[in-house]
Each structure stands twice: as C-alpha cells, then as structure tokens.
A = this chain, B = another copy of it.
Amino acid sequence: MVEHKTSIRVIYADTDAMGVVYHTNYIKWFEVGRCELLRSMGYPYARMEAEGILLPVAECNCKYKLPAVYDDILEITARIAEVKGATVTLEYEIRKQETGVLLVTGSTKHAITDPNFKPIRLRDKNRALNDCFMK
C-alpha cells in the first residue's frame, strides 16, 4: 500500500473563534497529503493534468477526534486505499507531530476523468499511472 507523510504548521488563518482549527481546513490538508503522495510516487498531480487526467473529488469524509490549535505542527499521512472502475479512494490521518496523537481521520473518493470531467479507465488510457496506483 503506497503511503506518504508530510507536515504543515497551523497558522491563524486556519483557526476559528472556538480557538481551534476550523473543521474544513483538515480536508484542505488532505489535498496537501494527496499531492505529496502522488509526487512521491513519481506522478505529481501537475503531470497527471498535463497528460489529460483529472481527479475531481466525488466524496469526502472526515472524523474529528481532537482539535489542533495555533502553531501545532501536523503530520498528514495519505495512502491509496482502493482503485476501482474509474475511481480512486484515498485515506488520511492527521496527527499532532510532537506527540503522535491522532486528531483526524478521513477519506476522499475521486473520479478519474479527462479534462471534460468524463470518466476514464486508467488501465486503458494511462498504463504507467495505473501501475503507480496499483502498487
């Protein structure tokens, strides 16, 4: 299972008046984790786009266990969970780096499409990327 860790630091822009990170920002950081995962696989998303393949988000889920606060360094783990038909599902964990405590888990399911958002089967259209995802 392909997996990658990256980290970010919480700034004020990410927090809200409850004093903690606003809940949609973790899902934004899923994007950071996903991009760096694809890059680590030798297939940055920018390259996918250049080759005419998009991964629009079809579904996302997020569970919030403990809040992150200003100045925390967060470790984002992203992994490819499933490639099925013209979709790929990724899973994520976000931990407080200093302590390793799990804060958030989640997943995103993506359609695999051409630039007109028409679903494509990777196996037929781009064997190299398909092999990447299947590793």
Contact = CB atoms under 8 A, between A and B. Distances in A.
28 contacts: A9-B32, A11-B28, A12-B16, A12-B17, A12-B22, A13-B16, A13-B31, A15-B17, A16-B17, A17-B17, A17-B19, A17-B69, A17-B70, A18-B54, A18-B56, A23-B27, A23-B60, A24-B27, A24-B28, A44-B71, A46-B70, A46-B71, A56-B67, A57-B64, A58-B64, A59-B62, A59-B63, A60-B62
- With most chain B CB atoms within 10 A of its CB, the pick from A24, A45, A58 is A24
Interface SS majority for chain A: mixed
Contacts of A64: 56-59
A126 interface: no
